[in-house]
């Protein structure tokens, strides 16, 4: 591709950073294809998805998901961020964010096939053959397990332990709110292997197949997300199933957690775009006291505020993604995008429901569905409070500036 979609050009004569958001022809084609795919393939499935959810069924049926992923793969959409050497598209962070924005226009939790957790690329060759490559191809399913009942935001407080016995490790403990834990056939689990060394030298990541004996149970939530609790009771795993180095698991965990927080608000951004479009259409069609509610200033202000916040979120997301592409330290920008995206997405969906009135509160429209789902964004992969702490500490310690990367 010609460029990453966001061009920042230094202008020494002006002392500022100019930004050009023009996309290359290839990038426009990719975004257009995803937009069409969402419109033609995903949106028509939403009414049935809402009906199935009322019956207690979550997510797309497996055969439907595979059909959709197959259609996408035929068009070349496989492994969005997976390196080309592993058969993927290897898209830039900016382009991936643009793809996620388009996918976010549907509440269906669809993802293109061909993805694998970023830390699996740290696996040795034997582990890549057994875990990474089969995961990319879709033969295997993984889950990442660090969160525990007493160690959510404070990942350093994990208590799951692993003790060595000869050439094996014996794992005991419990993990909770694990995405994909019910469907996974193996887990990347983090356990304390040397309590005296603490998190930075005493936590190790293990690749553990389900048939080793760990169990999972679903956790019911208010949204589509169906996490699991995992239990490890004297689960034995060979020493050569350590991912990375012994005692270096915490750095792998932080690498996984920081792999792309900007993608969560990117998908929320797409949801907000569609929600506000729905609100504007309803405002034009809904008449009270002889005229459309679009003429009411109260409605106009809600739409104006939402549109402004959407545009601000777009810049936060794309700036964070651009920094990832440039190899810059993007943690501050990603935390800001995650925080702002979660807060504003919840405010926007609340306004849209209010504009729709009683109909917005019913399950005939997808608004209440999004209302429940978007609430997760303020908790998942770092709560609002953790993001605020991160942002404030970086500023107060001089690691970041309120002038941003303009410095």
Q: Which residues contact 25 (CB under 8 A, 6 or more apart)?
A: 2
Catalytic position from the list 27, 246, 373, 381: 381
What's the per-residue H, E or C state across the chain?
CCCCCCEEEEECCCCEEEEECCCCHHHHHHHHHHHHHHHHHHHHHHHHHHHHHHCCCCCCCHHHHHHHHHHHHHCCCCCCCCCHHHCCCCCCHHHHHHHHHHHCCCCCCCCCCCCCCHHHHHCCHHHHHHHHHHHHHCCCCEEEECCECCECCCHHHCCCEEEEECCEEEEEEEEEEECCCCCCCEEEEEEECCHHHCHHHHEEEEEEEHHHCCEEEECCCCCCCCCEEEEEEEEEEEHHHEECCCCEHHHHHHHHHCCCCCHHHHHHHHHHHHHHHHHHHHHHHCEECCEEHHHCHHHHHHHHHHHHHHHHHHHHHHHHHHHHHCCCCCHHHHHHHHHHHHHHHHHHHHHHHHHHCHHHHCCCCCHHHHHHHHHHHHCCCCCHHHHHHHHHHHHHCCCCCCCHHHC
CA 40 to chain centre: 23
Which among 335, 346, 337, 267 has a CA at the least distance from the CA of 306? 346
CB 370 within 8 A of CB 269: no
The owner of tokens 């998190």 is 199
Q: Which two tokens stand for residue 61?
A: 């049926």
381 is catalytic: yes
Q: Which of 302, 294, 153, 143 is nearest to 230 (CA)?
A: 143
Please identify every residue annotated as catalytic: 381
């Amino acid at each position: 591709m010609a460029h990453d979609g966001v061009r920042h050009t230094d202008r020494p004569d002006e002392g500022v950073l100019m930004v050009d958001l023009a996309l290359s022809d290839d990038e426009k084609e990719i975004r257009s294809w995803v937009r069409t795919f969402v419109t033609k393939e995903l949106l028509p499935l939403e009414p049935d998805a809402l009906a199935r959810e009322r019956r207690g069924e979550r997510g797309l049926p497996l055969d439907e998901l595979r059909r959709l992923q197959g259609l996408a793969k035929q068009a070349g959409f496989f492994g969005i961020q997976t390196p080309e050497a592993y058969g993927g598209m290897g898209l830039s962070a900016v382009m991936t964010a643009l793809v996620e924005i388009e996918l976010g226009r549907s509440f269906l939790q669809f993802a293109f096939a061909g993805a694998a957790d970023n830390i699996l690329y740290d696996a040795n060759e034997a582990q890549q053959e057994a875990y990474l490559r089969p995961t990319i191809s879709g033969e295997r399913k993984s889950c990442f397990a660090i969160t525990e009942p007493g160690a959510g935001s404070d990942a350093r407080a994990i208590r799951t332990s692993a003790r060595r016995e000869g050439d094996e490790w014996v794992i005991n403990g419990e993990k909770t709110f694990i995405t994909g834990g019910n469907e996974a056939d193996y887990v990347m689990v983090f356990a304390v292997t040397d309590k005296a060394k603490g998190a930075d030298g005493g936590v190790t990541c293990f690749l553990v197949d389900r048939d080793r004996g760990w169990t999972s149970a679903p956790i019911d939530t208010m949204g589509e997300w169906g996490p699991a609790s995992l239990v490890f009771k004297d689960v034995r795993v060979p020493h050569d199933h350590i991912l990375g180095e012994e005692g270096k698991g915490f750095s792998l965990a932080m690498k996984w957690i920081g792999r792309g927080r900007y993608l969560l608000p990117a998908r929320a951004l797409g949801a907000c775009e569609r929600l506000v479009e729905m609100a504007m259409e309803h405002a034009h069609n809904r008449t009270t006291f002889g005229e459309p509610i679009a003429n009411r200033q109260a409605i106009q202000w809600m739409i104006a505020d939402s549109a402004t916040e959407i545009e601000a979120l777009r810049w936060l997301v794309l700036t964070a993604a651009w920094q990832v592409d440039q190899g810059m330290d993007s943690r501050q920008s990603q935390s800001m995008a995650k925080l702002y995206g979660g807060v504003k997405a919840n405010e926007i969906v609340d306004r849209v429901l209010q504009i729709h009135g009683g109909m917005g509160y019913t399950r005939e429209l997808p608004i209440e569905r999004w209302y429940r789902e978007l609430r997760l964004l303020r908790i998942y992969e770092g709560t609002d409070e953790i993001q605020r702490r991160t942002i404030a500490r970086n500023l107060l310690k001089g690691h970041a500036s309120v002038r941003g990367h303009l410095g």
